[in-house]
Amino acid sequence: MKLDLAAVLRGAWALWRGERALLLPIAGVFLVLPTVAGTVWMVPPEVADPNAPADLATLVDGMQRYMAANLHWLLLEALVGVFGMAVILALFLDSERPTVAGAMRIALRRFPALLLAQIACQFAVVLGLMALLLPGLYVLGRIFLIPAALVAEPRRGAIDGIARGIQLTAGAGFALLGLQVPIYFASQLLIALASGFTGAGIGNPVAMMVGALIAGIGNGGMALAFALLRVTAYRQLADTRG
């Protein structure tokens, strides 16, 4: 049976409307706040000399410097984000319908498997993008439900959960990619707007905080939307494919 994208979207929207009082604090703490903190405290990328010739080596060197200076913030943001996503998934996919405290305990138990799966998935995406653009994008669709499978089916280990997530998305890779694309670009527009504030507001704490908040909303909103879509897409495909 094909994935019903309209039903997935309706289900995610219904979850948001019905549970936003619960979701907003979780998303704020685990998905928005880390980006806000990182935006404020991370070392900004070096401004390139506009008169210097742009070449790949210069771009790579600048990226390496930025990563080295901010690696601890980037890692912390990624780890907290994975945990926050797992809490949201546990709230709606665990068979016992736990409280927030219970969902946090579930997320903590599943965290090592989720982290291993996240690393494996990022590696697969990079390999796909290195081969050709289309394989890399297709991988993004096929791995989309791996976190949901790991949380909803706790008996599975990391490898088995990865296999389960991929099995569920058979024939639905591009459909799931299509769900992600508009949300991703909307998030990037907000992050670009945030960069304008933070770039122009160096030395101005108000502008910096406004830019950091916009970046946090863009990044955290995307993560929250993806989590809710994972919940409803997993429910549909698990029900129809067993």
48: in domain = no
- Name the domain count of the chain: 1
> What's the confidence (pLDDT) of residue 96?
85
Tell how far CA 220 is from the center of its chain: 8
11: in domain = yes
Q: What is the pLDDT along the chain (242 residues), one digit of tens a residue?
A: 689 999 999 999 999 999 999 999 999 999 999 999 888 887 766 655 555 555 566 666 667 787 777 788 888 899 999 999 999 999 999 988 899 999 999 999 999 999 999 998 888 887 877 767 777 788 899 999 999 999 999 998 889 999 999 999 999 999 999 999 999 999 999 988 888 777 665 667 788 888 889 999 999 999 999 999 999 999 999 988 76
> What letter represents residue 193's amino acid?
L
Give Dmax (Cα) for the chain. 61
Name residues whose C-beta falls within 8 Å of residue 227's C-beta, 6 or more positions apart in sequence: 85, 88, 89
pTM for the model stands at 0.89
Its domain, for residue 213, covers 5-42+58-241
Name residues whose C-beta falls within 8 Å of residue 64's C-beta, 6 or more positions apart in sequence: none
> What's the confidence (pLDDT) of residue 57?
65
Question: In this structure, what are the phi and psi dihedrals at residue 102, rounded to the nearest 5 degrees?
Answer: -65, -40
| 35 three-class SS | helix
